Structure 1
Amino acid sequence: MKLSRVEVEGLLGRFNHVVEFTTDQEFVILYGPNGIGKTKVLELIDYTFKGRVLAVDQVPFDVATFAFDDGSTLVLAREGQRALFDRAGDESAHDLVIILKTPSSDEISWSMRESRPQIPVSRVLRLIEQESPVSRVGPNEWHDIAHDDIISREQLFDRYGGNLPVDSRPYQLPDQLQDFFNGLESHLIETQRLLREAPRIRSPRSLDRPAKSTVEVFSQNFSEQMGNVLAQNSRTSQERDRTFPRRLLSYGVVPAEATEEAIRIRYEQQSELRARLARIALLEQSSTDLPLPDRELEDWERLVLWTYLDDSQEKLANLLDFLERAELFTSIMNSRFEYKQLHLSREGFSILSDYGQDIPVSSLSSGEQHELVLTYDLLFNVNREALVLIDEPEISLHVAWQQEFMNDIANIAKTASLRFIVATHSPQIIHKWWSRAVSLGSASEGER
């Protein structure tokens, strides 16, 4: 499913916003004055896509309608909205109600009020602490040991409420509604979030842990991701090598498509791919590769080479996606850096000056770090087909970098199969993309 339209009524008690997002677009840009609710729109979308019902309930809005390209519609509303509910209702009641309509099933309606357990919230919290890897560190803060972060009560309920017995959970969604949320995926990048140092977790087990900058954390993450990719490639290689003799003998005769021209083309393409992989250390640079003989190949040579090329294709395919993301990451960053270059290796990121000196990644400027961690986050930490929500990307970016930002987003969208909603104050971010920009209007236009 792809989101095609969002309509929010009564945001912050006064604004109505509509965002159209046609399925052939990689991104849409939201702009408008301060206080119009751009950030709240992004948060509402993110909480909804993640099925974080309690977090959605904390956003000040009346009705939100999400339309998808498969014909599904999701409506979130307060029970006091009589236009949606054919009953008098209690004007003081504002519990969240969710209505799901899909082409393949009957309409589903769920009310937070009706699903709440008849036990005190304090007892629910104690039960969650008993059953989950969390410990309370403040009036409304818990240390989540599994995720190694500090979370609020709403986040605690959303993450671990499902660990409780059904009659004790803060709410219970119908299976069809939960399945619908499970089919959605979003990734919110908040203003300046990526530049903050990882906070020291306030718990005895981590009091002596030194804080790391996000760029250092991401460098280590790149090394780990590369290790995982190489491990998968090694397993594939071992399997193909083990079965090579059997598959070679099973051909019997040379396949019709294994012409000499096809073999030479594939051999050259794979050699070029290996060279690209070697540049980011996904493969060791080999000096043992030999060109094909400058003569007509015999039948047995074509058979062996074709089988070898089939195997190589499958082995290299495991590395191709990672390679394309790494190349785009390097290309974007090196077009931004002056007097220095980003290099990727199995150890992570390294920065070399034009004099060949190593530069610690943590010593990059705030703008350089912002660009690096934002680009890396999008290319390596977001699952394919996700909807990415970016709030004020212009923070710490030079004006010239701002003008290139949406071009980068378009390339990232294609490489990583993502869609974007970007909220900004900057005309430089929008630049040449005004046809993709949606004005959320002025305060007077938004008043009802």
Structure 2
Amino acid sequence: LKPMKIISDLDVRINILDKIIPGLERISPRKWLYDPTGETLSLEQVLERFDNVLPSSFKSQEEPDWLENLRSNIHIRLIESQRLLNFVPNRSSRRSAETPSILSTVSAYSDELAKLMQDKFKEYGTISQSLDRTFPIRVVKQQSSTDLTDEQLRDQLNELEATRSRLIEVGLLDKDEDTEFQIQPQDIDESTKNALSVYVQDVEKKLSVFAEIASKIDLLRKIINNKFAYSYKEINFSKEKGFIVTTSYDSSLSNSKTILPTDLSSGEQHELVLLYELLFKVQPNSLVLIDEPELSLHVGWQVQFLKDLQDITQLADLNILMATHSPDIIQDRWDLTVELKGPQK
């Protein structure tokens, strides 16, 4: 109970931070807007910046060595139960006292993913220009390779085409992008083998830029569409818009129609936001704390949650600790659980 008491006492103290520090306004459980600069500050940042004006009760107590070492060696990220809204400071006036804007998290993450995809595409373009510029001279200097058979070269070209198709499917490449990838030679002679060998190496370097983000988008798409199928929805991705959600629920429509991510149900948004955070917002080897993952989720989705989580942790290399009230989340994996009990009598 002692840790619980410490947390409770801290919560009581931080509730009055905005009354102690002029210009500080609390906008979420652990975030404050500092009006004079328009900055959004975490609890740690507030305590550090205003240490000289805070009462001694706010001063952090000395940590034991083992806890300090643990905190310094493990990156920890908390995914809170309130995860559908983001608080964004209003920066139109640095000294304005206006309430921060409230932005849907699913919209913010859609925009963020579009930016990540655009950045990767720019990186791809930079590498492509560099390789294309030196391609002719590298072909001329390429040594004839007797080890590479015609069949192996065809297999490599087929693999490149399969990779390109996958990147088109997840929205990282356009369908008409780099049509030269579609070369499928039926007959390869010695005069073309060297050029194609250099070409294969170049394309592998170009497409390797997308490897990590493509794997994450592919897994996100697979898990989400497995859930969305129940409500006749489907999610895809693009460099321009991020999340693209379509529905075919209205049978009178000849084609699927696009809906906004904010038009998703709360359960669908919770699932999308949570999975996106795990795949794109958490650095590898982190300890992720998830509060109530079952919020607004269909029972069938809760049953599938641990399996989906295992697929994500294998790809993203994460350790996860969850707090849940749902036996449907646990299923038959009680070996992974620790029950929180009351004080011993």
TM-score of the superposition, structure 1-length normalised? 0.61
Aligned with 2:33: secondary structure? Answer: strand
The structural deviation recorded for 1:340 is: 1.3
- State the secondary structure of the residue aligned to 2:210: helix
Q: Which residue of 2 aligns with 1:344?
A: 237
Partner of 2:54: none
The one-letter amino acid of 1:294's match is Q
The alpha-carbon distance between structure 1 residues 421 and 197, as it changes in their structure 2 partners (threshold 3 A), is: same
1:311 aligns to what? 202
Residue number among 1, 11, 17 corresponding to 2:3 in the alignment: 11
Q: Offset at 1:282? A: 0.9
Aligned partner (choices 288, 292, 306) of residue 184 of structure 2:
292
Question: 1:246 Cα shift?
Answer: 3.5
Structure 1: distance between partners of 2:328 and 2:106: 25
More deviation in 182-191 or 337-346? 182-191
- SS of the aligned residue for 2:103 comes to coil
- Measure, in 1, the Cα distance between the counterparts of 2:31 and 2:313: 35
Q: How does 1:105-120 map to 2 (within 5 A)?
A: none
Q: Which residue of 2 aligns with 1:395?
A: 295
Which residue number corresponds to residue 125 of structure 2? 234
User: Contact 1:201–1:207 at 8 Å: present in 2 too?
Assistant: yes
Answering whether residue 271 of structure 2 is matched by residue 371 of structure 1, we say yes
Aligned in 2, Cα 1:237/1:370: closer, same or farther, shift over 3 Å? same
**Matches for 1:174-189 after TM superposition, within 5 Å:** 181-189=71-79
Q: Residue 290 and residue 160 in structure 1: after superposition, are their counterparts in 2 closer, same or farther (change >3 A)?
A: farther
Normalising by structure 2, we get a TM-score of 0.78
* Closer/same/farther in 2, CA of residues 311 and 159 from structure 1, 3 Å limit: farther
**1:348 maps to amino acid:** G
What secondary structure, in the 3-state scheme, does the structure 1 residue paired with 2:267 have? helix
Counterpart Cα distance in 2 of 1:179 and 1:437: 25
Is 1:259–1:302's contact at 8 Å kept on the other side of the alignment?
no
Structure 2: unaligned runs, 5 residues or longer: 52-58
Amino acid at match of 1:381: K
Q: By how many angstroms is 1:421 displaced?
A: 1.1
In structure 1, what residue type is equivalent to 2:322?
Answer: V
Tell me the distance in 1 between the aligned counterparts of 2:203 and 2:338.
47
Query: What is the rounded CA distance, in whole Å, between the counterparts of 1:58 and 1:208 in structure 2?
Result: 25
Cα distance in 2 between the residues matched to 1:56 and 1:417 = 33
- Where does 1:422-433 land on structure 2 (aligned, <5 Å)? 422-433=322-333
- By how many angstroms is 1:277 displaced? 0.7
Q: Please list, as runs of the form range in 1=range in 2, the aligned pairs for 1:434-445 lying within 5 A after superposition.
A: 434-440=334-340, 442-443=341-342
* Residue in structure 1 matched with residue 153 of structure 2 by the alignment: 263
Report the 3-state secondary structure (helix = DSSP H, G, I; strand = E; otherwise coil) of the residue aligned with 1:293.
Answer: coil
Distance 1:298 1:57, change over 3 A: farther
Given candidates 413, 420, 437, the residue that maps to 2:313 is 413
Aligned-pair distance for 1:349?
Answer: 1.1
Check the 8 A contact 1:143/1:151 in 2, yes or no: no
What's 1:273 paired with? 163
Matching residue of 1:198:
87
Per the TM alignment, residue 259 of structure 1 is displaced from its structure 2 partner at its CA by 1.9
| Cα distance in 1 for residues equivalent to 2:336 and 2:60 | 40
- Structure 1 residue runs of 5 or longer lacking an equivalent are 1-8, 14-39, 41-54, 61-121, 130-134, 162-168
Structure 2 residue matching 1:242: 3-state secondary structure: helix
What is the aligned-residue RMSD (CA, Å)? Answer: 3.7
Do residues 213 (structure 1) and 96 (structure 2) align?
A: no
**Whole-Å separation in 2 of the counterparts to 1:436 and 1:411:** 16
CA contact (8 A) 2:38 2:89 kept: no
Answer yes or no: is the 8 Å Cα contact 1:255–1:303 preserved in 2.
no
Structure whose residues are more often helix by fraction: 2
Higher relative contact order (Cα pairs below 8 Å, separated by 6+ residues):
1
Matched position secondary structure for 1:383: coil
Length, aligned pairs only: 315
Are residue 244 (structure 1) and residue 135 (structure 2) matched?
A: yes
